[in-house]
A and B are shown apart, each in its own frame.
Chain A
Amino acid sequence: MGSTSSSEVIIHSSAVEYAPLILILPMLAFPVILFLGKIFNGNPFWKNSVKEGGLIALVIMGASLLLSLWLIKDFIGSFDSMDEFTDWTWFTSSMWNSGNETDTVVFGFGVHVDHITVVLLFVASFLCLLINSFAIGYMNTDPINDNRNHRFYAEFVLFCSGMLGMVLADSFLWLFIFWELMGLCSYLLIGFYYERPSAAYAAKKAFLTTRVGDVFLMVGLAMLWTLFDGHLDYAYVFNDDNIAKVDPASLAWALGLMFIGAVGKSAQFPLHVWLPDAMEGPTPVSALIHAATMVNAGLYLVARMFPFFGSEHMFGQLDDLAFIIAAIGGTTAVMAAAIAFVQTDLKKVLAYSTMSQLAYIFTGLGAALYLANTLHWHGAGHEVEHGIVVVAFGAALFHLFNHAMAKGMLFMASGAVIHEVHHAHHHLHHDDHHHEPSPKELVMLATYLKEKDQSAFEFFTSIDLDGSGEIDTYEFKEALKSAEIADLPPWEMEPLMNAIDLDGNGKINVPELDLTLTRVLLEEAHDHDDHHEEFDAQSMDNMGGLASKMPITATAMLVGSLSIMGFPLIGGFWSKEGIIANTWRVALDDPRFMYPALCVLLGAGMTGFYMSRMWLKTFAGSPKGEVAAHVGPTNTWIKTPLFILTFITLSGIILASMGFTHWAPESKGELLHDSLLDGFLYEMEHAFANHDSFFFILSYVALFFGAIVGPGLALSLYGGKLDDGETAKPWFTPVLALNAAIKGRYHWDNSALSESTLATALSNRLYFDHYYDMAMLKIVAAFSFKAAEADSGVIDGTIKTIERTSQQLSTKLRALTTGSARDYILMAAIGTLVLFGLIWGVVA
């Protein structure tokens, strides 16, 4: 709360007492699922009835959601912050400042509930449950996941625990702890398919990139901790009296460093490179962690700083930081949207869209924080300013909510599409491609024998060195070497051996060799006719026309896309218009903000384009390739969450009418409307008939870009009518008809544009990843290798030199061993004198 003072009423709700369970339940489920999975792996009951732990997770997440809803209900009933349960002391230590005593420092844990908590808590617990359901439908039906889903669900619930814990925690310290816990789960889940090098690389990249941000966050926290005399709990640091004692410049530095942590976690420029690669994880992970929840952590952290900006004691002192936040947001919004233009991978488009939309929220938060910092908005006589700040903050928070719902849904829908396309591909190509291609060495061997006109038997006897009638790995290796085909290390021999060794006894006999070589030759001839490329189930180039085949999924995708685009009356519209309007409001006041303001306006049009492009390429037009023509509908576990989220996104107007556009710290009941109708009229008036002429024009300009120009361009380029005989649900008819009409009339050739330098740069992600990798390799890694050399060469080398010298010296000293008693007495005397001299010198 902006000015939480000691006089404020703290509500004692029994829901708060149970609130720790919201995060403790999933945390306890983590080891349970892991160990049960380890024990019962492969057991039919565990696999089919418990869904390899999926149902346990579902029950736990359901309980967490219920407890969260109870807490939210109690909060809405009172609109006061609930901040009790700080009686759990983690550990205590001491500091010494001055005087003769040390001061005790307490690190405790508790639950803090306010407006921001409530939004994030609902988003997190609700989406955790829905995506859990989706995961059961997605993960458990994919044979590649067989017998390892328990690992997925265990890590999944641990992640949920981290997210819920971060939201509920009552101090920046515990925010950071759960933040890191989420980072760990993100790492584990991106690397879920650990056998893929790309997944291993992506996991490492995600952890390290966010770690760079985390380092700054940790330094920022240390600064904050020192500024506030050893406190990081919200109750203390948000207290106005304590803020008054703090030097604004130092606070700005601390918050700025913490913001870098948020940049890393929310994948903003320039620490954005990890998010697209993170799509290597299973789709439920992309939906939950890398779209709907964890990436919001950075936003949450920035939103948490609101009381500092809102404090009268910091008036006008933190506006530079607010600008930096908005500028980073604006930059990322445009950059990510531009890269999304050229992506063909369905999930990558969504990843860049996530990045871009999070950037919108950052911009909105930056504007809101600027307003809070530069307006006197507390107390009587400042009701107008109060309203401005609350609406600006509320828009950002509401966009976070809308984006999380829509993007979670979009990812689940994309997962459903990928799942079914993959399934169709598997089904179609199961018969003629059931075997792996033969190792190339075997092909070469078969060709070699054919050319030399040598029979398998002749070859066999020539290589059977020990005459045992069977060939073992060593003999076969030697044969390949002598035939100048390959000189392979033993571990690469094994696949060759396995390919030939039909009975699996580890040795090759004549019939096995003969059969295999014949088969290899036949295949080789066949493959030349019908060379089959690697099929990419995520590429939109393999989709198209799916609207008729997956109606629920297509609907969800359409609604989600419209929400992200800010199409009138659907979820995201209300919040996006608000963010654009508030950024422009600040820009009128401070010309620096023209930059983010222009960025978000431009970004609105770009969003319209890439989201429409994605939907049209996937669902409209005719199927590209035979796979897309054979896609079927998806299963109930997947459909249910899609259905629920479609409903929630569509009902954005209801939420807006209820006053959720004003849902911000310090907004009490007075801003909520008396009836839904009043609220509806109020919102409609503000959106479409603003009294201020500037904002009236602005709202239509934004609408023009976001809902007409962007989608219009996409409609003219992509999609088209469905194939004849395909029928789609009636609500697709206008979209498809519009698409067909515009494409038919205004279609233009964009190939020159798509081959331009800019497009190439965009498809290479503007070379950020390249240069980061280069920097790591050429600077950090090179330096560390040099350091390791120096360590053994210089530091250890010095020691070795001393060692050698002393050995040589001792050889010489041995010459002193003359055997004469007189010499010894002399030496002893000199030694004693020197020793005395030394001690004398030291003492005197």
Chain B
Amino acid sequence: MSTGIDWISLPLVGLPLISSIVLLMFIGNVSNAAREKLGPSIRMVSLIISFIMLGVTTMMFFGQMDKMADWSTMNFGSFNFEFSYVWIESLGIRWSVGMDALSFPMVWLTTFLLPITIVATWNEKNASVYFPLILMMGGALIGVFVALDLFMFYVFWELTLIPMFFLILKWGGKDRKYASQKFFIYTFTASVVMLLGLVTLYLMQPEQIVTGGKYGTMTGRTFDIPTLVSHSQAANANGMWFLGESMQKVLFVMLMIGFLVKLPTVPFHTWLPDAHVQAPTGGSMLLAGVMLKMGAYGMFRLPLAMFPHAAEFFQFWLLALGMVSLVWGAVVCLGQTNLKKMVAYSSVSHMGVILIGIATMQPLGWAAALFMMFAHGIISPMLFAVCGAFKHHYHSMEIGAMRGMAKHSPWLATSMMFGWMASLGLPLLAGFVAELMMFLALWHFLAAENWSVFWMVGPAFVLAITAAYYLWSMQRTIFEGGDDTQPPASLHGAPVPDIADSEKIAMVIMAAFTILFGIMPWIALDMMNGWTVAFFEQLLIPILNGGV
């Protein structure tokens, strides 16, 4: 328990949540006309708050806060800015926050995307409600990443649904009602399974005689994640399965159901395209950029850390699910005629990479998964920003509705080409590093464990297919036409606009960071590598060595 200032609870979680609630309550009590008038000021307030958060996390990266450990050399199980307050003493529920090299990149990514999202959707309608909701979204997401208490983790996990539900419902497209309900019910159902797993985990843990502190005075049990992980580590050290073999397998599956649906993985992915297509641009950016990664983050934080035996037991299924997501997502992408749906399915495909990386049970593969979470978190918001601008300007999401975009909207065309190229894994852009590492880790794993080389066919095939669907869509939007092609009917003869200045700024920043992390991946990769190495050396390797 470190001393000093709690930089997480208030500045990163409390500030956005409280300020958004205050703003929304305030807005709820004024007239419609006043709401319209207050829009720009509320937008500016939201932007300033998001900048404060970005400033805090960026200073954390540079190690400017007092008494913090270096991100890349932290021990497994130790956290920076760890703070803990009693919440419900009788059950052992506490408000505990802290960050390690697993959560910090995600937190930074969230604070990075908040101002980007606000700027990219600067002219969104109903601004006085929209921007506080974006802030609330950010606060809830950060809450998930910094929570070190199972109860708190679950509360924030579900809290993220609420602003997203309203973003889709109020700012969405034609079928927004159906999409928002499907999104909510689908992921909520999965979370309930996860909740059952968490409660069972709570009840099944060994009861402590000496209570108080982390342990509930009434139950003698704890919700504290590091404590539970250390229990698991102790059991592993004795060569035993934490909580017993069958229990561990059941709990692993229950937790994974929640995370796999969130990730999402085929066949639990169908909420995603609907949600994305209907969601407003800002919602899509945060949904694809951060919310999907909650699933991958949760896997690393809970089931993989607590139930490593079960993880090894289910290795084949993890690899199979990852492979299916990767290939199926890419193939379905090729069959899409809707630009945003295509991008949504490409997210499914990319999330498959994360699962495959995890399944390799190699530090390289895990680092690949972590870096993919991060890189995709920068690239996919750009893709959705492009889709949003496309829809805004051409009133259609159909590929081919507008051709010769390079002529009419050079900025949008350039952004699109950049984003597409980044997403298909062009070297020197962030996505390539993750894909390369996954590729190497997978082959290394297959060769070392004598698995069939045919597992390699999937990723190889997808490399070609991904290029195919992106290039195909570019051929039909950016290229062709120009002078000869007239603007689409939906424009009614109006001149074709290019994207607004605020959108240009957002695109340029996202592109710059994609290049930055493509050329200098070590900025983020060093700490991820440190985390995976610590994880493997202190937890996983004994199990991998021992076998099941």
Q: Which residues of A contact B (CB under 8 A)?
A: 89-102, 105, 173, 176-178, 180-181, 184, 187, 191, 194-197, 199-201, 203-204, 207-208, 211-212, 214-216, 218-219, 222-223, 225-226, 230, 473, 489-492, 494-495, 780-781, 783-789, 791-792, 795-796, 798-799, 803, 839, 842-843
The verdict on B69 contacting chain A, using a C-beta distance below 8 Å, is no
Q: Please state if A195 and B481 are interface contacts (CB–CB under 8 Å).
A: yes
Q: Please state if B440 and A222 are interface contacts (CB–CB under 8 Å).
A: yes
Contacts of B449-499 to chain A: CB distance below 8 A: 456, 460-461, 463-465, 467-468, 471-472, 474-475, 478-489, 491-493
The verdict on B372 contacting chain A, using a C-beta distance below 8 Å, is no
Known contacts A94-B532, A96-B541: A215-B460 contact under CB 8 Å: yes
Count of inter-chain pairs, beta carbons less than 8 A: 200
Contacts of B334 in A (CB 8 A): 780-781, 784, 787-788
Contacts of A196 in B (CB 8 A): 480
The answer, among B270, B428, B447, B542, for a CB contact under 8 Å with A799, is B270
Q: Which residues of B contact A (CB under 8 A)?
A: 182, 185-186, 200, 204, 246-247, 250, 266-267, 269-271, 328, 331-336, 362-364, 367, 404, 406-407, 421, 426-428, 432-433, 436-437, 439-444, 447-448, 456, 460-461, 463-465, 467-468, 471-472, 474-475, 478-489, 491-493, 521-522, 525-526, 529, 532-533, 536-537, 541-542, 544-545
Contacts of A97 in B (CB 8 A): 448
The answer, among A94, A177, A212, for a CB contact under 8 Å with B536, is A94
Q: Please state if B426 and A184 are interface contacts (CB–CB under 8 Å).
A: yes
The answer, among B247, B336, B493, for a CB contact under 8 Å with A494, is B493
Separation in Å of the B185 CB from the closest CB of chain A? 8
Q: Please state if A200 and B541 are interface contacts (CB–CB under 8 Å).
A: no
- A92, A791, A799 — most chain B CB neighbours (10 Å): A791
Separation in Å of the A14 CB from the closest CB of chain B? 25
**For the complex, what is the distance from the CA of A97 to the CA of B428, rounded to whole Å?**
29
Q: Please state if A783 and B331 are interface contacts (CB–CB under 8 Å).
A: yes
Contacts of B485 in A (CB 8 A): 195
Q: Please state if A787 and B428 are interface contacts (CB–CB under 8 Å).
A: no
**For the complex, what is the distance from the CA of A796 to the CA of B432, rounded to whole Å?**
31
Separation in Å of the B201 CB from the closest CB of chain A? 12
Separation in Å of the A513 CB from the closest CB of chain B? 19
Query: In the complex, what residue of chain B is closest to A225 when comparing beta carbons?
Result: B440
Separation in Å of the A293 CB from the closest CB of chain B? 18
Q: Please state if A842 and B332 are interface contacts (CB–CB under 8 Å).
A: no
Contacts of A787 in B (CB 8 A): 328, 331-332, 334-335
Separation in Å of the A52 CB from the closest CB of chain B? 16
Contacts of A101 in B (CB 8 A): 537, 541
Q: Please state if B492 and A490 are interface contacts (CB–CB under 8 Å).
A: yes
Q: Please state if B529 and A94 are interface contacts (CB–CB under 8 Å).
A: yes
**For the complex, what is the distance from the CA of A204 to the CA of B417, rounded to whole Å?**
13
Q: Please state if B443 and A223 are interface contacts (CB–CB under 8 Å).
A: yes
**For the complex, what is the distance from the CA of A99 to the CA of B489, rounded to whole Å?**
66
Query: In the complex, what residue of chain A is closest to B468 when comparing beta carbons?
Result: A208
Separation in Å of the A576 CB from the closest CB of chain B? 35
The answer, among A99, A105, A491, for a CB contact under 8 Å with B486, is A491
Contacts of B364 in A (CB 8 A): 93-95, 105
Q: Please state if A799 and B186 are interface contacts (CB–CB under 8 Å).
A: yes
Known contacts A102-B536, A177-B427: A94-B367 contact under CB 8 Å: yes
Known contacts A94-B532, A176-B427, A494-B493: A184-B421 contact under CB 8 Å: yes
Q: Please state if A91 and B521 are interface contacts (CB–CB under 8 Å).
A: yes
Separation in Å of the B436 CB from the closest CB of chain A? 8
The answer, among A203, A222, A780, for a CB contact under 8 Å with B468, is A780
* Given A180-B427, A230-B444, A494-B493, 6 more pairs with CB closer than 8 A: A203-B475, A226-B443, A491-B486, A787-B328, A787-B335, A843-B204
Query: In the complex, what residue of chain A is closest to B541 when comparing beta carbons?
Result: A100
A-B contact pairs, 6 of them (CB 8 A): A93-B367, A101-B541, A102-B536, A176-B427, A195-B484, A787-B335
Separation in Å of the A294 CB from the closest CB of chain B? 15
Contacts of A200 in B (CB 8 A): 475, 479-480
Q: Please state if A100 and B545 are interface contacts (CB–CB under 8 Å).
A: yes
Contacts of A495 in B (CB 8 A): 486
Separation in Å of the A405 CB from the closest CB of chain B? 29
Q: Please state if A194 and B406 are interface contacts (CB–CB under 8 Å).
A: yes
Contacts of B421 in A (CB 8 A): 184
The answer, among A95, A207, A803, A839, for a CB contact under 8 Å with B467, is A207
Separation in Å of the B383 CB from the closest CB of chain A? 18
**For the complex, what is the distance from the CA of A191 to the CA of B417, rounded to whole Å?**
12
Separation in Å of the B366 CB from the closest CB of chain A? 9
**Which are the 9 A-B pairs with shortest beta-carbon distances?**
A195-B482, A788-B335, A200-B479, A784-B334, A784-B335, A222-B443, A491-B486, A796-B270, A177-B427
Contacts of B437 in A (CB 8 A): 93
Contacts of A218 in B (CB 8 A): 439, 460, 463
**For the complex, what is the distance from the CA of A225 to the CA of B463, rounded to whole Å?**
19
Separation in Å of the A245 CB from the closest CB of chain B? 14
Separation in Å of the B370 CB from the closest CB of chain A? 10
Query: In the complex, what residue of chain A is closest to B404 when comparing beta carbons?
Result: A195
**For the complex, what is the distance from the CA of A91 to the CA of B522, rounded to whole Å?**
5
- B182, B186, B331 — most chain A CB neighbours (10 Å): B331
The answer, among B333, B427, B471, B489, for a CB contact under 8 Å with A490, is B489
Separation in Å of the B116 CB from the closest CB of chain A? 21
Q: Please state if A91 and B525 are interface contacts (CB–CB under 8 Å).
A: yes
Q: Please state if B533 and A102 are interface contacts (CB–CB under 8 Å).
A: yes
Q: Please state if A93 and B529 are interface contacts (CB–CB under 8 Å).
A: yes
Query: In the complex, what residue of chain B is closest to A184 when comparing beta carbons?
Result: B426
Contacts of B482 in A (CB 8 A): 194-195
Separation in Å of the A474 CB from the closest CB of chain B? 10
Q: Please state if A95 and B362 are interface contacts (CB–CB under 8 Å).
A: yes
Q: Please state if B270 and A788 are interface contacts (CB–CB under 8 Å).
A: no
**For the complex, what is the distance from the CA of A491 to the CA of B486, rounded to whole Å?**
6
**For the complex, what is the distance from the CA of A219 to the CA of B440, rounded to whole Å?**
9
Contacts of A490 in B (CB 8 A): 489, 492-493
- A94, A105, A176 — most chain B CB neighbours (10 Å): A94
The answer, among B433, B456, B521, for a CB contact under 8 Å with A219, is B456
**For the complex, what is the distance from the CA of A713 to the CA of B422, rounded to whole Å?**
52
Q: Please state if A203 and B479 are interface contacts (CB–CB under 8 Å).
A: yes
Separation in Å of the A775 CB from the closest CB of chain B? 12
Q: Please state if A211 and B464 are interface contacts (CB–CB under 8 Å).
A: yes
Contacts of B436 in A (CB 8 A): 173
- A96, A230, A783, A788 — most chain B CB neighbours (10 Å): A96
Separation in Å of the B186 CB from the closest CB of chain A? 7
**For the complex, what is the distance from the CA of A795 to the CA of B421, rounded to whole Å?**
29
Separation in Å of the B224 CB from the closest CB of chain A? 23
Contacts of B464 in A (CB 8 A): 208, 211-212, 215
Contacts of A96 in B (CB 8 A): 362-363, 536, 541, 544
Contacts of A473 in B (CB 8 A): 493
Separation in Å of the B470 CB from the closest CB of chain A? 10
The answer, among A91, A214, A791, for a CB contact under 8 Å with B332, is A791
Separation in Å of the B75 CB from the closest CB of chain A? 15
**For the complex, what is the distance from the CA of A177 to the CA of B427, rounded to whole Å?**
5
Known contacts A102-B536, A226-B444, A491-B489: A177-B428 contact under CB 8 Å: yes
The answer, among B270, B465, B521, for a CB contact under 8 Å with A90, is B521
Contacts of A781 in B (CB 8 A): 334-335
Query: In the complex, what residue of chain A is closest to B529 when comparing beta carbons?
Result: A93
- A195, A216, A796 — most chain B CB neighbours (10 Å): A195
**For the complex, what is the distance from the CA of A225 to the CA of B363, rounded to whole Å?**
16
Contacts of A792 in B (CB 8 A): 270
Q: Please state if A201 and B475 are interface contacts (CB–CB under 8 Å).
A: yes
Query: In the complex, what residue of chain A is closest to B348 when comparing beta carbons?
Result: A791
Known contacts A100-B537, A180-B426, A490-B489: A795-B266 contact under CB 8 Å: yes
Q: Please state if B363 and A93 are interface contacts (CB–CB under 8 Å).
A: yes
**For the complex, what is the distance from the CA of A490 to the CA of B444, rounded to whole Å?**
58
Separation in Å of the B417 CB from the closest CB of chain A? 8
Contacts of B541 in A (CB 8 A): 96, 99-102
Q: Please state if B471 and A208 are interface contacts (CB–CB under 8 Å).
A: yes
The answer, among A90, A95, A491, A780, for a CB contact under 8 Å with B487, is A491
